[in-house]
Amino acid sequence: MIKSARKALIWLGAIIVVLYGVLTLGVLTGKTSFTPGLALDLSGGRTLILKAEPTDGTEIDSKDLEQAVEIIRRRIDATGVAEAEITTQGTDTIVVSLPGQPDDATVDLVRQSAQLQFRPVLVTGPPQPITNPSATPSPTPSATASPDAVTGVEPSVSPSASASASPSASPSASPSPSPAPGVTDPSSFDWITPEVQDAYETLDCTDPANLAGTSTGDANAGHVACDEFGQAKYAMGPVEMDGTDIQTATAGPELSQTGTLTGRYEVRLKFTSAGASKFDDITTRLVVLESPRNQFAMVLDGVVISAPVVQTRITGGEAQITGTFTQD
């Protein structure tokens, strides 16, 4: 009996020695430490409590919070911060826990409100910077993945194609120095000023830092942005509509003209009275333009989430955007 107990103790001691050796090896190689790691709440960090406040008087639902969480997560991922925790509390609160000591720029990025903008597309191209621009550079539209399409819920008759002029496919080498809101056509290449031109050429949409929480730009000036997946970049005109012009936005399965499911998803927009009037004017102008100026960009949190082609003038205050949407 004594021998059996002694033998068990010897084996236990041997196991402890082996485990200690493995731990020592891990410490020497930098893969572990003798002291256990602390969780986020003990190792330090910063917790931000954000409360959602609608600007149009509508109630916030769970889908609104989920979208806000996804936007915040994208922003944090773009900064390279790992192991952040994002949770919701109740119906209007988001709690963001950041490990370590995040810098002020990261904190400000999390706190800033997301803004939805509608801008006319002027030029679109590949995501990479333009390394060898010509002596008088002028970005030209290029073939990209098939854009989404927007139609009215009850489409009216499209303006005749013969009403379309044949504008140049590339901006003028000598654009107007001071395009003015309310005066200059929002779809004019004059909005591509030398500053916007330079920003377009240098923008690198393969850099994750340019895919979340970037500047939304001056609403009354041209602007450049990446698409949300980093597959293309856009030069755009001024803001013509924003989130306050939308009454409701929902998503669901797309139905064909015969009422059968197509297997795709669509986004349905219902505009306010003022928004419907603005959208009527926008679609009337864009439907007769050449590609890509027949598109408008929906810019959320500084990136283009959709840039549908206008297929018809939309007068009813409701629109359907179809294309590459999924249930997620």
According to the model, what pLDDT value does residue 57 have?
Answer: 63
C-alpha dihedral, 314 to 233 to 327 to 56, nearest 10°: -60
Longest Cα–Cα distance of the chain, Å, equals 104
Question: What number is the average pLDDT over the span 23-40?
Answer: 54
Q: Which of 28-32, 106-110, 264-268 is the most confident on average?
A: 264-268
Q: Which alpha helices (H) appear in the chain, and where do they start and end?
A: 2-28, 40-43, 62-79, 104-111, 194-202, 273-286
Question: What number is the average pLDDT over the span 263-275?
Answer: 89
According to the model, what pLDDT value does residue 70 have?
Answer: 81
Q: What's the rounded Cα separation, in Å, for the pair 175 and 168?
A: 13
What pTM value is reported for the model? 0.66
Percentages (nearest 5) of helix, strand, coil residues in the chain: 30, 25, 45
Question: What number is the average pLDDT over the span 183-189?
Answer: 95
According to the model, what pLDDT value does residue 278 have?
Answer: 96
Q: Which SS3 state, helix, strand or coil, does residue 44 take? A: coil
- 216 pLDDT above the threshold of 90: no
Task: Band the pLDDT of 248: cuts 50, 70, 90.
Answer: confident
Q: How many percent of the chain have pLDDT more than 70?
A: 70
Question: What number is the average pLDDT over the span 108-133?
Answer: 87
- Smallest CA-to-CA distance from 163 within 30, 313, 26 is with 313
Question: What number is the average pLDDT over the span 9-32?
Answer: 61
Q: What's the rounded Cα separation, in Å, for the pair 296 and 269?
A: 14
Task: Band the pLDDT of 182: cuts 50, 70, 90.
Answer: confident
Q: Which of 196-205, 232-241, 297-306 has the lowest mean pLDDT?
A: 297-306
Pick 136 or 221 by higher pLDDT.
Answer: 221
